[in-house]
């Protein structure tokens, strides 16, 4: 596999995680005690910090995207352990791992080819 394949994995992990978080917090299971806007700001806005550079394939932005995916992995793992319904947290774990591994391997292979 080359760097483009790893970037495609990272991008699909990002888009899956973004869509999952948006749907989970608005349509599927909106929060009862907090405003939806506040929950979206807390959960989705970290993904938007380096999105522009990530789309351009900037290596530093892709590295940061890998770091930013780890709290989502931890959150999904804790939610999957604590809840009876495990589909949404398991998807969060899957997408965050795709984002982490794809962006990490993309940075590794793209830096090697420069």
pLDDT of residue 1: 80
∠ at Cα 89 (30, 68), nearest 5°?
95
pLDDT over 80 at 114, yes or no: no
pTM to 2 decimals? 0.91
pLDDT tens digits along 12-56: 999 999 999 999 989 988 888 999 999 999 999 999 999 999 999
Q: In whole angstroms, what is the distance from residue 32 CA to residue 36 CA?
A: 9
The Cα 96–Cα 29 span in angstroms is 20
Q: Tell me, what's the pLDDT at 107?
A: 93
- Specify the higher pLDDT residue, 65 or 1: 65
Neighbours of 100 (CB within 10 A): 20
Q: Containing domain of residue 93, as a range?
A: 3-113
Lowest-pLDDT range of 7-11, 39-43, 108-112? 108-112
Give the total number of structural domains in the chain.
Answer: 1
54-96 confidence digits (pLDDT tens): 999 899 999 999 999 999 999 999 999 998 888 999 999 999 9
């Amino acid at each position: 596999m080359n760097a483009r394949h790893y970037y495609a994995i990272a991008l699909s992990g990002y888009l899956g995680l973004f869509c999952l978080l948006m749907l989970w917090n608005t349509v599927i299971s909106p929060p009862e005690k907090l405003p939806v806007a506040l929950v979206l700001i807390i959960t989705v806005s970290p993904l938007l910090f380096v999105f522009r550079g990530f789309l351009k394939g900037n290596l530093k932005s892709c590295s940061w995207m890998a770091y930013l995916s780890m709290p989502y992995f931890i959150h999904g793992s804790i939610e999957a352990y604590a809840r009876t319904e495990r589909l949404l947290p398991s998807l969060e774990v899957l997408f965050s791992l795709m984002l982490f591994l794809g962006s990490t391997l993309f940075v590794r292979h793209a830096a090697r080819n420069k």
